[in-house]
Chain A
Amino acid sequence: SYELTQPPSLSVSPGQTATITCSGDKLGDKYAFWYQQKPGQSPVLVIYQDRKRPSGIPERFSGSNSGNTATLTISGTQALDEADYYCQAWDSSTVVFGGGTKLTVL
């Protein structure tokens, strides 16, 4: 079965750029999606179709996808960006999530 691999954790200082990776076999041939989840809340879509931002998502969130790696970039990271981030892709007609990356802003 298809797998997506993310680093378990990442720490950045406020104002720095956070780069979260998601790796999967030929992931660049698929669309990548990213979700943000804060404690006790439901996931929120922050990037769809590799690089598009849903309405209401700040411009500091951006995405890319090429080769075997999709990347979520948060520029000028703020304290309120501290959360778990999950990548997601479709494999045939099924859904795959990465294991999640806990972003700490300190």
Chain B
Amino acid sequence: EVQLVESGGGVIQPGGSLRLSCAASDFSVSSTYMSWVRQAPGKGLEWVSLIYAGGSTYNADSVKGRFIISRDDSRNTLYLQMNSLRADDTAVYYCATKTENYPHAFDIWGRGTMVTVSS
């Protein structure tokens, strides 16, 4: 079964760094695009970062210069390195991707990992 499992969330002080992981099962993270999407408490979905199969990466303006998306093909894992964290980065972070059946969509989502930025 295609599955994504996020980890690495926690409580971090403003200005700190955190690395999130998203372990994939039953498909290769290098075979398609993968993305991080976050949701602040009581708020809507916000796209954060994307990495294409070819390795190109894109970030939302709100995290540009602070967050880095990457993947380790040997570990079949997606990462999000988050630096210079701010209170408004507090959110549940989901990783998401698509299967072959649904072009351009995000039909596979993890359960999310909570990041709290607070002193």
Contacts and interface: CB of A to CB of B under 8 A. Distances in A.
A, B co-complexed: yes
Q: How extensive is the interface on chain A, given as a class?
A: 20 to 34
Interface string A72-106: 00000000000010101010011111111000000
Contact of A90 (B46, B104, B112): B104
Nearest to B107: A45
A42 B110 contact: yes
Interface in A11-62: 31, 33, 35, 37, 42-45, 48-49, 54-55
Interface string B76-119: 00000000000000000010100001111111011110000000
B103 A95 contact: no
A94 B44 CA distance: 17
Given A97-B44, A100-B45, A45 B104 contact: no
Nearest to A102: B44
B50 interface: yes
B93 to A, nearest CB: 11
Contact of A48 (B44, B96, B104): B104
Nearest to B92: A42
A13 B86 CA distance: 42
A93 B109 contact: no
Given A49-B103, A86-B44, 9 more contacts: A35-B45, A43-B37, A54-B101, A84-B44, A95-B35, A95-B47, A95-B50, A97-B46, A97-B47
